[in-house]
Amino acid sequence: MAGLHVSVSFLTIIVGLMNLSLLSASQNGNNNNLRDACRVTRYRDLCIHSLSSFSHSAKQSPSRWARAGVSVTIGEAKRVAEYLVKVRKQGAMKGSRNRAALSDCIECFQDAIDNLHNSLGVLRKLSDKKFETQMSDVMTWMSTVMTDEDTCLDGFAGREGKPVKLIRKQVMNVSYVTSNALALLNRLANAGVGSLDI
């Protein structure tokens, strides 16, 4: 009876190790998919960090990685927009030029968020018949997002002070995320309609 108990325990340990091995292999596959998707981006470490939670669901799908990139950008843009509004409410910006630049920046981010939502909406409804037109629309909106971010930064050109430096840092970070999303969209466009999960 003791021998049977040892055999059952040993078998349980073996099955557990096999499950761990399979889990590890699955995670390695997901990490490889993530690294493969991010290899087209300019800011790879940021891409890997910001998209790691999507590696299981996106797998090798260019359209899913593109949606993930835009989704992450929406989250970052909203975070920055909230930060900008907070800075305005606190009255931290000194000087009329800085306050005007801040207001313009808030407006730019509202426009950017609208364009990001438009892009994500189209990416969720990609079809083989309208693929090229849909991708053209998305690329236009995403390019406008980059322009909005650059316009925000331009408003603070030559300006100094801690609030301005913090705003620049926040906006630069979201512009890097946007750049990565654009790279993932280009990857999808290059992969073509045949890569869709329809």
For 29-72, write each residue's pLDDT tens digit.
457 888 988 999 999 999 999 999 988 887 888 999 999 999 99
- What per-residue confidence (pLDDT) applies to 7? 53
Lowest mean pLDDT among 12-16, 102-106, 113-117: 12-16
**What is the rounded average pLDDT of the residues 4-13?**
50
Say if residue 151's pLDDT is above 70: yes
- What per-residue confidence (pLDDT) applies to 22? 37
Average pLDDT across the chain, whole number: 86
Q: Does pTM surpass 0.85? A: no
- What per-residue confidence (pLDDT) applies to 25? 38
Side-chain half-sphere exposure of 95, counting CA atoms within 13 A: 10
Confidence band of 2 (pLDDT split at 50, 70, 90): low
- What per-residue confidence (pLDDT) applies to 26? 40
Which of 108-112, 162-166, 193-197 has the highest mean predicted lDDT (pLDDT)? 108-112
What residues contact residue 74 under an 8 Å CB cut-off, 6+ apart?
A: 113, 116, 117, 120
